[in-house]
Amino acid sequence: MKQSGNLPRSGLGSLVLIAVVLGGGAAAFAYTAGWLSPGRLTPERMIAALAPPGGAPLGHRRNHAKGICFTGAFEANGNGVELSRARIFERGKYSAVGRFNLGTTDPNAVDATARVRGLGLQIAAADGEEWRMALINPPFFAVSTPQAFHDLLIASGKKDPEAMKAFIQSNPEFAAFATWAKTAPWTDSYAEDAYHGLNSFIFTDARGGERTVRWSLLPAAQVVPISQAELEKRGPDFLEQEITERIRTAGPQRWTMVTTVADPGDPTADPSKAWPEGRRTVQVGTLVVQRIEQERDGPCRDINFDPTVLPKGIRVSDDPFPAARSSVYRKSYDLRAAEASSYPRTEAAKP
């Protein structure tokens, strides 16, 4: 692949470009229908804010544009039925299709320029119900509202350093994310990353009881931290090459799905705020990644990882981001589908 240029090294502006503009991750967001009033955000405005200076690469996702497909299974251990009546939590094995990806709008990005990594996942039950999700490796999100994310994109795209200073002053929650981006360890494998669903959802059990939860996928692989400079030496596309070779030689890779249950008073509408330590957790199953396939003809190519596609027993909470993301994901899908002839596939693009 063509490299995207020199790697940013330091400074708040570079940090924002790497960690947020490129790594907005689960955050290509717009407002839901009730918010689409004149002067407010629309999916079109959010996608415009995400677009790089040269324009969006045709046929690609508008964010997390660089990725690779995988297939495998979700092995439910049965513990989840205590929390939700979703069939997917009943003990058994369910088909899974997903996508490892980088938080970047550039499908040719150098791996070491993207601070945020993501995992899109679709789990399907035999009755046709699906659970789709989009997770990222930061333990909390950069900002607290969709409007703030749009404002961050606009501010970080300006050459005037005062724009970012004004944004940070208005959105102090960004400081925690900036610290994570500068200090959290890097790895040289998708298999070694934990992926977090930062948004809150409501689980409903068989008796009608409700709990607000978040979930994460925690790797079974040993985590070996490296520096950004060391990752750069691995090559621009090393992450895709490494996960392909790892599974070919070492076999399937696994992540434990852990759900965290909120206590009363925990912030459920703000993904920039992590819940306190000590909250109840339940291990509900294991994601097993069995096969890697290139995206251009892979099974994840045409999946929209809309986080509001949920099985019975799971629904959205008061967190505005899932519905907001759904709005932009849908628009992004429509755009890349219309541009399919421009996408570099080896067979006819699907509609």
Q: C-alpha distances in angstroms, 22 versus 8, 78, 227, 245, 261?
A: 12, 38, 19, 26, 31
Are the beta carbons of 259 and 80 closer than 8 angstroms? yes
Residue 208 has a CB neighbour count (10 Å cut-off) of 7
Q: Record the tokens describing residue 46, joined without a space.
A: 């959010």
Q: Which of 118, 335, 312, 330 is nearest to 204 (CA)?
A: 312
Are the beta carbons of 74 and 88 closer than 8 angstroms? yes
60, 64, 150, 196: which one is catalytic?
64
- The DSSP code sequence of 149-195 is HHHHHHHHTSS-HHHHHHHHHH-TTHHHHHHHHHHSPB-S-GGG--E
Using CA atoms, how far apart are residues 89 and 12, in angstroms rounded to an integer? Answer: 43
Is 196 an annotated catalytic residue?
no
Q: Record the tokens describing residue 109, joined without a space.
A: 């990005």
- Positions annotated as catalytic residues are 64
